[in-house]
Amino acid sequence: MRGNALSDVAKKPSVKGRELTAAAVGSVLLAIAMIWLIPPYAKDLVYGGVKPATIGDPVHTIVGDGGDTTAQAWLVAWDGHALLHNLRGFWDTNAFYPNTYGLALNDSLFGYVPAGLIGHGVDAAVLRYNILFVLAFALAFLGGYALVRQLGANRVAGAVAGAALAYAPWRYGHVGHLNILSTGGITLAFAMLARGHGWSLTRGYLRDRVRPGWAVAGWLVAAWQVSLGFGIGLGFVYMLAAACLTATIAWLITGRPALGRTLVLGDLAGGLFFAAVTGYFAYAYQQVRELFPNVSRSWDYVAAFSPTPRSLIVAPLFSLPLGWLHNDARAALGNADNEKVMLCGFVLYFLAFGGLFLSVWSLRQRLFLFVGTLAGILCALGTNGPLYRLIYLYVPGFDGSRTPGRLILWPTILLAILAAGFVTALAQAACRATLPEWSSIAARVVTVPLLLLVLAEGMPDLAHVKLPPEPAALAQAPAPLIVLPTDDGIDSNIMLWSTDGFPTMVNGVASYNPPERQAVRDVMQSFPSQASLATLRQYGIRSVIVVRDKATGTPYEPALGVQSMPGLTRTEIGPDVLFTVS
């Protein structure tokens, strides 16, 4: 009887379909509650002092700050539009004119293209983004749950790991970066690959548990994850390669146990597909590096975005329980403070620490997890740590990465595995210490509160910002066009507006601005000077839109009073002004 109780609270990695279905549904419902139903605390946003609103209109309000989030909404919309109407121009996009490969200036988010195929226009783009934002957190939870369950943790421990990975406080420093928040495919792919190969931490390799179909599914999910972009995907590619190398070495050392033909063929096909997808996207980003050699980040530039050891205990602004408490601590981190915070969660730290001493994982496994966590943290410190310099110099692709702190994902995963081992062992200890008929209840009494603590610490304080309406002049302006003002703070909204028809335009936001396009933006501050008009004609830009409420108080304000002249026709459309160049 006691054995039955123990098996109930400490399930081995025999995860059934009903459990996965329940976990998937539960992860979505939890994400809706955490992201949409928790009202934001009263505080002003950095962008325009906009007051956060409670979610009530997911079509006209967007989660986050209303800045980078709108550019991310445009990305998904462009992916769907290009697949249906402009596949040849997929990488060029309607933005960033006159430059090419504009999509490769950002993570493409191509994996979300099925969503991009549904609906069109601004409202659809906003609704689509709000839904994907919630689903990204749901998938992060599900991936964490599936991984530790496959490794040998019980269900409550799976939920603890899922909550720790989905709602780690550091993630809220990236609320404008769906590409960085979309990490669920990583842990889900590892879980599927481990399940497909019949492997877990508690049992090792068991041939009778090999499921080739799960292995193939793992490769497909891994390829999908990479298709979202290399902001997070680059590290994943190398970690997956390292895992494959480690598994191969272990297979050789243990006497090359027999592998089924179906599994081998599945791995070959899945691995080749993953390599092909990775190679395709890597080729596109390599074209950008060849077109714009300066796209690589200098060491000094990386230093400006590198966290410090203190970042491990600092929460971002959008953390509900800790954000306002850590205002001074974030300010001490300097510029880009929200992207420098790396708090994985104080509760997670505690549970992982406990997992070093009490765990269902072996001592050697715990030591590997601990060493891996330390190494990951030292890498995430960037220029303030001893290891990132080696990555920057010798690992292809990392010299183009701006924010080393994003590598904190990997220590978070390892900490979650350590914590899951502790929670499972704690449940087993509770079972052994109580009467058989009370063992299941006792196990939950000591473990479920830990899950609730992780969730409480991970509660977000997210704003849902009402977006400015699209200027009517945009629908009447002949393309190519430019909307004024143009800068990285405004162009994200303009990109969202452009989802209604996707006109070719100069405007666009990316982490790198090509010199040619930036020169156009700079000279337009003097519009309609002779130099600006000559530039417009040089690149065949046919119209200029001046948005009145955005231009007021900027160098572009004098353009509002410019009248028609030879070669330039003024038309007032609502409060804004459209200039047609001839």
Structural contact between residues 550 and 486, judged by C-beta atoms closer than 8 angstroms: no
CA distances for 483 relative to 404, 487, 527, angstroms: 34, 10, 12
pLDDT of residue 45: 47
DSSP secondary structure string for all residues of 381-404: TGGGSSSHHHHHHHSTTGGG-S-G
Structural contact between residues 546 and 557, judged by C-beta atoms closer than 8 angstroms: no
Instruction: Summarize pLDDT for 306-364 with one digit per residue, the tens.
Output: 999 999 999 999 999 999 999 999 999 987 778 899 999 999 999 999 999 999 999 99
Instruction: Summarize pLDDT for 44-88 with one digit per residue, the tens.
Output: 444 444 444 445 578 888 988 788 899 999 999 999 999 999 888
Residues 524 and 491: their CA atoms lie apart, in Å, by: 14
User: Could you give the percent of the chain with pLDDT greater than 90?
Assistant: 77
Q: What is the pLDDT along the chain (582 residues), one digit of tens a residue?
A: 444 444 444 444 456 778 999 999 999 999 999 998 776 654 444 444 444 444 557 888 898 878 889 999 999 999 999 999 988 889 999 999 999 899 999 999 999 999 999 999 999 999 999 999 999 999 999 999 999 999 999 999 999 999 999 999 999 999 999 999 999 999 999 999 999 999 999 999 988 899 999 999 999 999 999 999 999 999 999 999 999 999 999 989 988 888 889 999 999 999 999 999 999 999 999 999 888 888 889 999 999 999 999 999 999 999 999 999 999 999 999 877 788 999 999 999 999 999 999 999 999 999 999 999 999 999 999 999 999 999 999 999 999 888 999 999 999 999 999 999 999 999 999 999 988 888 899 999 999 999 999 999 999 998 888 888 999 999 999 999 999 999 988 999 999 999 999 999 999 998 888 888 899 999 999 999 999 999 999 999 999 999 999 999 999 999 999 999 999 999 999 999 999 998
Before 528, cis peptide (omega within 30)? yes
Spatial CA neighbour of 164 closest among 177, 145, 186: 145
